[in-house]
Amino acid sequence: MANNITVKECTTLIRFDPNYKNESKNNFPTQFKGFSFENIVAENASVSGIDISGFEGMPVEDVSIENLILKSTPVPLIIENANNVSLKNVLINGKRITESSLH
């Protein structure tokens, strides 16, 4: 669980990247499951706000994001190959983001 976080500047506020490459550039796909983020306030994410992107055969699963405010980002939300993503009280670029935004 990650909670009570304040960020001024970042590229992407929350990002799941299952296409991990080590120093030898070999792929080591990672399965992400069971993550919770609460009480996050951020000024600016220069690339995207939330990026939850899994693989088709290995989706990101069971992610909960609650009480998040991100004031500015060009791409608020990217969700691909993810199951059971919960968004509660998420505000990005002054707009509320809900589970209905995922479909």
Q: What is the pLDDT of residues 53-99, one digit of tens each?
A: 998 889 999 999 999 999 999 999 999 999 999 999 999 999 999 87
Q: Residues 6 or more apart from 37 whose CB is under 8 A from it?
A: 1, 2, 3, 5, 14, 63, 64, 65, 66, 68
Q: What mean pLDDT do residues 47-51 have?
A: 97
Check pLDDT > 90 for residue 43.
yes
> What are residue 72's phi and psi, to 5 degrees?
-150, 130
Q: How far apart are CA 47 and CA 51, in angstroms?
A: 10
| DSSP bridge pairs for 72 | 44
Residue 65's alpha-carbon distances to 22, 34, 36, 95, in angstroms, are: 28, 11, 6, 15
Average pLDDT, the chain: 90
When pLDDT is averaged across residues 29-50 and rounded to a whole number, the result is: 95
For the cut 60, the answer to whether the pLDDT of residue 100 exceeds it is yes
Q: Domain extents for the chain? A: 2-102
94 Rama sector, left if φ>0, alpha if ψ -120 to 50, beta otherwise? left
Say whether pLDDT at 12 is over 80.
yes
pLDDT at 103: 53
The answer on pLDDT for 39 being more than 60 is yes
Q: Are 32 and 18 in contact (CB under 8 A)?
A: yes
